[in-house]
Amino acid sequence: MRRSMNMKLVNRIQNLHPNDMSTCKMLFLLILALSVSSGVCDVPHKEAGKEVYLQCGAPPNSDIEWRLNGNLLISIRGKTGLRRKGSGHTADKVNLYGDTLNVPRLEPRDSGVYSCTQSGKQYTLHVVSVFVKPGPVLIQSSDVELHCNIEGDPNTEVEWLRPPNDQVHDAKHQKINLKSVSSSDEGKWTCKVEDLKLSVTLTVVANHQINNVEVSEGDDIELPCFLPRPVSQSVLGGEWKADHLPTVPFPTLKNTADEGLHWDGVNSSVVKYNIERLSTNFNVTLINVQSSFAGKFVCEVEFEHGGKLTAVTNLMVLAETTDKTDLHALCVSPGVCEVLLYQGVGKEVSLQCGASSNSDIEWRLNGNLLISIRGKTGLRRKGSGHTADKVNLYGDTLKVPRLEPRDSGVYSCTQSGKQYTLHVVSVFVKPGPVLIQSSDVELHCNIEGDPNTEVEWLRPPNDQVHDAKHQVIHLKSVTLNDGGKWTCVVNDFKFSVTLTVVGGGPLVLNQIHSV
């Protein structure tokens, strides 16, 4: 009972500011009356990073000397105010306010017996730290240690409270081991030491990703395999594999001292990957996808302490379709002809002049020269600018490859007077096409140079007409019903994006294609 009262009074002393020393001394006199003759006072356990105040209780203007485990920390001459400090990490940071010792920024190594020579007062201080090995962010199914370290007192039992609602964990040890962690282990873990509560938050990253991806034949597609955030465990290795494509040269993951985490392999005409040092993104890209590529692709990444990330991508290859903007855009009248074209980003378009054979040909974009050719000599001349740099002429037909929004405008052939108004359309999703259920998203059907034209949106599951006609539509609190192919229709031209909604665990999917 007496010890309990002492502890409460010491608590009050520790919370006092140095300016309140008169009150502190009065409280300490009460402690003196209750303490045993040895002068030993216990100090409650303190959290690492906090500070503590310890009062000597010597008469005013006395010489004061404080020691830690018998070694000098700091002393002061009462009459002259001359101060002297000992050596060591604790001595370097302590200070005296009257006869009160202040120890800031507590570390485990600051634990020990603090004594004031003049009064004989002793305080046994235990600095408590809570931490996780290998760290608080873990891949699902890995193992982890939770530590509630009481420096200098390793045998004292503690109480652990676990998520989700501070349920009492059965283990009483300062170190507990969790095997094969799951989402149920995620959340705040609290260690109780007497009246002190210290917490650490455990985050468990999903270790299984399933992606259903569509791509048009001949296009490139990125196969997703990534961590939404860095985890505490080191990567030991990993690989991509596709059992139905045994001859495709997929790379393997290696982690070496000199190169760090990297892909080991050679980029090929089929598979490309990041040759730089890796962190959380293990995506690879399939080049010029063929119908035979359709099937299951598996990415496995192994971590220390038993964790493993598995990403499965089910790839569906759409047969290449004839898009009327991939053909020559023809005019039926012999004179001036205006054609309105819409084409997707990354595609190409061919525009026909309709001039007679061996004629001089000159193509312009918004009045600026793109390219010209002398019919008799074949002499070519190009204009300047990003579009002019990439266009080419085949006879009288202008081809514009790898379309970008800035390639939009009026293309005209001087000889025939033909004009083609081209709007490059980009369909994309913000923040991205793979979303956690109940999040918000914007779907964009951007018609460059024509922001006011209404479009028609077709939504999953069966191309049902969506009521909004704007180029940007907002979906609030998406559900699994919103997942699937969304199509933007502009004057019978169709552009699609696939939206994936998952119930938990973020994924990445970069999938936009035109049909």
Three-state secondary structure of 394-411: ECCEEEECCCCHHHCEEE
Q: Is 443 exposed, middle or buried (0-12, 13-18, 19+ CB in 10 A)?
A: buried
pLDDT of residue 437: 85
Give yes or no for residue 215 having a pLDDT over 90: no
| Over residues 500-513, mean pLDDT | 50
Mean pLDDT of 306-322: 80
Average pLDDT over residues 88-114: 93
pLDDT of 252 reads 92
pLDDT given for residue 34 in this prediction: 37
Token reading at 84 = 């002297």
Res 25 pLDDT > 50 = no
pLDDT at residue 326 greater than cutoff 60 = no
User: pLDDT value at position 379?
Assistant: 80
Can you give the pLDDT at residue 20?
45
Residue 17 has pLDDT above 70, yes or no: no
Give the least confident one: 38-52, 208-222, 432-446.
Answer: 38-52
Domains of the chain: 2-125 (2.60.40.10), 129-205 (2.60.40.10), 208-318 (2.60.40.10), 328-424 (2.60.40.10), 425-514 (2.60.40.10)
Mean pLDDT of the chain: 82
Is residue 273 over pLDDT 90?
no
Residue with tokens 């005209």: 412
β-strands 122-125, 40-42 pairing:
parallel
Which of the four pLDDT bands, split at 50, 70 and 90, describes residue 48?
very high
pLDDT of residue 127: 93
Q: 197-201, 337-341, 380-384, 410-414: which range is least confident on average?
A: 337-341
The per-residue pLDDT for 335 is 46
Highest mean pLDDT, choosing among 327-341, 345-359, 439-453: 439-453
Share of the chain above pLDDT 70, in %: 85
3-state secondary structure of 447: strand
Confidence (pLDDT) at 432: 81
CA atoms within 13 A of residue 224's CA, in its CB half-sphere: 20
Q: Report whether 468 contacts 505 (CB < 8 A).
A: no
Give the whole-angstrom CA distance, residue 500 versus residue 510.
10
Token reading at 272: 């490309």
256 phi and psi, to 5 degrees?
-120, 160
Q: Which residue has the higher pLDDT, 138 or 21?
A: 138
Mean pLDDT along residues 254-277: 87
At 41, the pLDDT band (50, 70, 90 cuts) reads: low
Structure tokens at 311: 């990403």
pLDDT category at 338 given cuts 50, 70, 90 is low
CA distances 189 to 23, 153, 199, Å, are 37, 21, 5
**pLDDT value, residue 504:** 54
> Of 510 and 226, which is predicted with more confidence?
226
Q: Give the residue with greater pLDDT, 354 vs 406.
A: 406
Q: Read off the amino acid at residue 33.
A: A
> What pLDDT was estimated at residue 2?
36
pLDDT (0 to 100) of residue 19: 45
Tokens of 278: 């890796």
Greater model confidence, 381 or 332 = 381
> Residue 320 — very low, low, confident or very high, per pLDDT cuts 50/70/90?
low
- What pTM was computed for the model? 0.52
Contact 45, 193 (CB under 8 A): yes
Over residues 283-303, the pLDDT tens digits come to 999 988 888 899 999 999 999
- Residue with the bigger pLDDT between 248 and 5: it is 248
The pLDDT confidence band at residue 30, using thresholds 50, 70 and 90, is: very low
pLDDT at residue 503 in the model: 67
Residue 414 has pLDDT above 60, yes or no: yes
Tell me what pLDDT residue 333 has. 44
pLDDT over 90 (residue 115) = yes
Using H for helix, E for strand and C for coil, what is the string for 278-322? CCCECCEEECCCCHHHCEEEEEEEEEHHHCEEEEEEEEEEECCCC
What is the per-residue pLDDT for 140?
Answer: 87
